[in-house]
Amino acid sequence: MAKVYVTTPLTKEQIKNIKAGDEVIITGTIYTARDAAHKKMVDDLAAGKALPFDATGAIIYYTGPTPPKPGQALGSCGPTTSYRMDKYAPTMYEQGVGAAIGKGYRSDEVKAALVKNGALYLASTGGAGALLAKRVEAAEVVAYEELGAEAVRKLTVSELPTVCINDASGGDQYYNGQVQYVKADAMVKPKKPEAGE
């Protein structure tokens, strides 16, 4: 498990070299989007409209921040639970998105889309919104302003800490991490990923 510093956008080569369990420290531009914005983006694509940002190697952050206090670029901004974006995520990866940051388990369809398109699923620490806000230097709404906290925002981040959960070759850190600590007599065992290495 390595510590990898990346600047955006991600290249195919960078993505290939990042493995489940690696710490991925991000500097550059990322875009926020959660449920409502994903629905709009996928609807827009179906209607032949372009995404509100260049998707190639882009990083999407599943977060809905609190309003900034005077002097803050952005309010608290921890990750939201990712499965709610599972319905839309394969389409976004098809468009060239390099990684999404969230928290929690992904569907088999999303994990297959990561392998197929050469992309990553990263997690930041849920509930650490005040800490993560410190890594955001600038924020501006770039689409769907009417969605408020759910609008698409362009964030400039400096060393945003994440962990790679699912990599482009089927590695799954939730499984790898939990299988080390599950007790032999536990009532439920971690589920082995279908598309494992």
Partner 1 sequence: MREIHVDQVAETIAKMFMEANYYLSPDVVAAIDKATKDEQSPVGQAIFGQLIENYTIAMTERVPMCQDTGSALVFLEIGQDVHFTGGYLYEAIHKGVAKGYTDGYLRKSILNDPIKRVNTKDNTPAFIYTEIVPGDQLKITVDSKGGGSENMGQLKMLPPSAGWEGVRKFVVEAVAAAGPNACPPLVVGIGCGGNFDKVALLAKKSLLRHVGHSNPDPEWAAREQELLTEINKLGVGPMGLGGTVTALAVHIEVMPVHLTGLPVAVNIDCHAHRHKEVVL
Among 30, 60, 77, 110, binds partner 1 (CB under 8 A): 77
Q: What single letter denotes the amino acid at residue 46?
A: A
The Cα 4–Cα 82 span in angstroms is: 22
* Residue 80 contacts partner 1 per CB under 8 A: yes
Active site residue ranges: 38
Among 27, 95, 105, 112, binds partner 1 (CB under 8 A): 105
The Cα 114–Cα 35 span in angstroms is: 19
Binders of partner 1 among 143-182, rule CB under 8 A?
148-149, 161, 163, 173-174, 176-182
The Cα 180–Cα 70 span in angstroms is: 45
Torsion, CA 83, CA 99, CA 112, CA 192, rounded to 10: -70
Binders of partner 1 among 7-66, rule CB under 8 A?
36, 63-66
Among 15, 123, 136, 139, binds partner 1 (CB under 8 A): 123
Of the two residues 48 and 180, which places its CB atom closer to partner 1 in the complex? 180
* Residue 192 contacts partner 1 per CB under 8 A: no
Unique residue bearing structure tokens 């009417």: 146
Of the two residues 95 and 149, which places its CB atom closer to partner 1 in the complex? 149
Q: Of the ranges 2-10, 11-19, 45-53, 118-126, which one interacts with partner 1 (CB under 8 A)?
A: 118-126
In whole angstroms, the minimum distance from the beta carbon of 2 to partner 1 comes to 14
Among 4, 25, 45, 128, binds partner 1 (CB under 8 A): 128
Of the two residues 9 and 129, which places its CB atom closer to partner 1 in the complex? 129
Contacts of 37-41 with CB under 8 Å at 24 or more apart are 37/143, 37/144, 37/147, 37/150, 37/151, 37/152, 38/85, 38/87, 38/88, 38/89, 38/92, 39/88, 40/143, 40/144, 40/147, 41/88, 41/92, 41/152
Using CA atoms, how far residue 145 sits from 37, 59, 185, in Å, is: 10, 20, 51
Residues that bind partner 1 (CB under 8 A): 36, 63-69, 72, 75-78, 80-81, 83, 103-105, 123, 125-131, 133-134, 148-149, 161, 163, 173-174, 176-183, 185-188, 190
